[in-house]
Structure 1
Amino acid sequence: MGRPKTFEEDEVLERAMKQFWETGYHALSVRDLEEGTGLLRGSLYAAFGDKRALFLAALERYADLSARDLEELLAEGPTPRAGIERYLRKRMKDCTGASHHRGCLLANTAAEVAPQDPEVRALVGRRYAKMAAILEATVRAAQEHGEIDPARDAKALAQHLIVLVQGMSVVGKTEPEAGLVRSAMRMALAMLDSKDPEDT
C-alpha cells in the first residue's frame, strides 16, 4: 500500500497554474515551482510528472476554468446578446485592470510554447475551438431572438469574437491606457448589431 499524499493535488495545480500564468513556461524554474507550491521536486514529479507535464495539466485546468467562466457569463445576461456583451466587457476589464500584464494563459502559451511544441499547439487549438463552439450556441440563440442578424454566419462570428478577445489580451499587456483595446471592443459591439456584409 502506497504512502498517502499529504497535499491536495488540486490546490498545488492551482498554484502552479498561477505561476505559469504570471511568469511564463520557460522563465519559470523548478525551484520557483517548489517555492510557489510548497512541494519539493520529488513530490511534484511523483504527482504530476516533469515540469512539462505539470504545465500541460495547469494549462488544461486554466482552459477548463475559462470555458466555465464563458458559459456562466453568457448565461447571466438577460438575453443571449446581452450575455455576449457581458462576456466581451468582462474580458476587456481583465485586459485593462490591475492584472492586465498577465494576459490570457492560452494566448501566452500560443505565442511562447506552441510554435515549438506540436502537442501544446494542438491543445490550445482544441480549447479555442471549444470556446468558439460555446459562443456560437449563444450567437444562434441571439439570432433566434432577433437580436443578431440571422443572415450572419454564427460560427464565423463566434470564431471572430474569440480571436478578438485573445488579441485584446495580448495588446492589453503592453498598452497601459488601453485605447486600442477599448476601440476593438466598440467595433465588436457594433459588429453584433450590423447586417451581414453580403446583404449590403
Structure 2
Amino acid sequence: MARPKSYDRDDAIAKACMAFWQHGYQALGVRELERLTGLNQFAIRSEFGGKEGLYLEALRYYADAAMTEEFSPMKTGGIAEVMAFFRGLVTDGSLTSSDFGCLIVNTGIENARVQSERLDEAARAYWAALEAHFRMALERDAGQPARFDPGTLAKALVSAVMGIHAQNRAQQSNQAGRYLVDMVCANLAALEQT
C-alpha cells in the first residue's frame, strides 16, 4: 500500500516556483528545497523525477500563469495591449513584475552553464508563445499595406522583454527596466498613431 502524501502537489509546485525564482536552479540545494517546499527528497524523486523534474513543473506553472493572465489580452487586442504588457513588467502587483526578474529569463541564463535540453525546450516554448502573441496583436494594427513588419517587431520585443527582466534581476528592483519599457512604449505608440 502506497504511503499517503503529506503535501499538496499544486501548493508544492507553487512554492518550488517561488524558491527557484528567488534562488536559481543550481544555487538551490535539495535540503533547502525541502525546507522551502515542504517536500522531502523521496517525494522530489518519486513525484517529480528529481530536482530538474520539479524545476520543469515550476516552469510550467509560471508559464501557464503568465500566458493565462498576461499574454491573453494580446489574442484579441492590438498595440495598446502590447504596451500594457510592457508596462506590467515594471508595475507593482503585476504577475510579470518582480525584483527577481523572470523565471524563464533566469533559466535561460543559468542553462548556458547547466546545458539541460529539457530546460532549454521549456524556455524556448515560452519565448515562442510570447512572440506569437506579440505578432497576433501587431498584425491587427499593422494596416494594409503593412506599415511595419509584425514578425520582425515581435522578435525584437521578445529581446526587449528579456533585457527588462535581466535588468530588474541584476538591480533587484522591478523598476530597473523602466527606461527600456518607456522607450519601447513610446515607439509602439508612434506606430499606433501612423
For the aligned pair, the TM-score class normalised by the smaller chain equals 0.7 to 0.9
Distance 1:52 1:65 in 2: 20
For the pair 1:181 / 2:180, whether they are aligned, the reply is no
Alignment match, 1:54: 54
The correspondence for 1:89, drawn from 87, 90, 94, is 87
Deviation readout 1:138-157 (Å, 9 max, x if unpaired): 1112235x9xx932111111
Q: Residues 65 and 35 from structure 1, CA distance in 2 versus in 1: closer, same or farther, beyond 3 angstroms?
A: same
Question: RCO greater where, 1 or 2, for CA within 8 Å and sep 6 or more?
Answer: 2
Alignment match, 1:153: 149
Deviation readout 1:60-93 (Å, 9 max, x if unpaired): 22122222223244369xx522211111100122
Distance 1:186 1:168 in 2: 11
Alignment match, 2:102: 104
Mapping 1:35-46, distance limit 5 Å? 35-46=35-46
Q: Give the 3-state SS of the residue equivalent to 2:170 in structure 1.
A: coil
Deviation readout 1:5-41 (Å, 9 max, x if unpaired): 3432111111111100010001111111111111221
Deviation readout 1:90-132 (Å, 9 max, x if unpaired): 01226xxxx7431100111111124431412232122201111
- TM-score, normalised via structure 2 length: 0.83
Q: Give the 3-state SS of the residue equivalent to 2:160 in structure 1.
A: helix
Mapping 1:131-170, distance limit 5 Å? 131-144=130-143, 150-170=146-166
Distance 1:55 1:105 in 2: 10
Deviation readout 1:30-57 (Å, 9 max, x if unpaired): 1111111112211222111111111122
Q: Residues 53 and 180 from structure 1, CA distance in 2 versus in 1: closer, same or farther, beyond 3 angstroms?
A: closer
* AA of the residue aligned to 1:108: N
Fraction of identical pairs, as percent: 28
Distance 2:175 2:18 in 1: 27
Q: Give the 3-state SS of the residue equivalent to 2:148 in structure 1.
A: coil
List runs of 5+ in structure 2 lacking aligned partners.
none
Alignment match, 1:70: 70
Query: How many aligned residue pairs are there?
Result: 188
Shift of 1:173: 2.5
Distance 1:194 1:108 in 2: 31
Shift of 1:4: 4.4
List runs of 5+ in structure 1 lacking aligned partners.
196-200
* AA of the residue aligned to 1:64: D
Distance 1:177 1:44 in 2: 31
CA RMSD of aligned residues (A): 2.8
Distance 1:179 1:11 in 2: 29
Shift of 1:180: 6.5
Contact 1:75 1:83 in 2 (8 A): no
Distance 2:52 2:62 in 1: 15
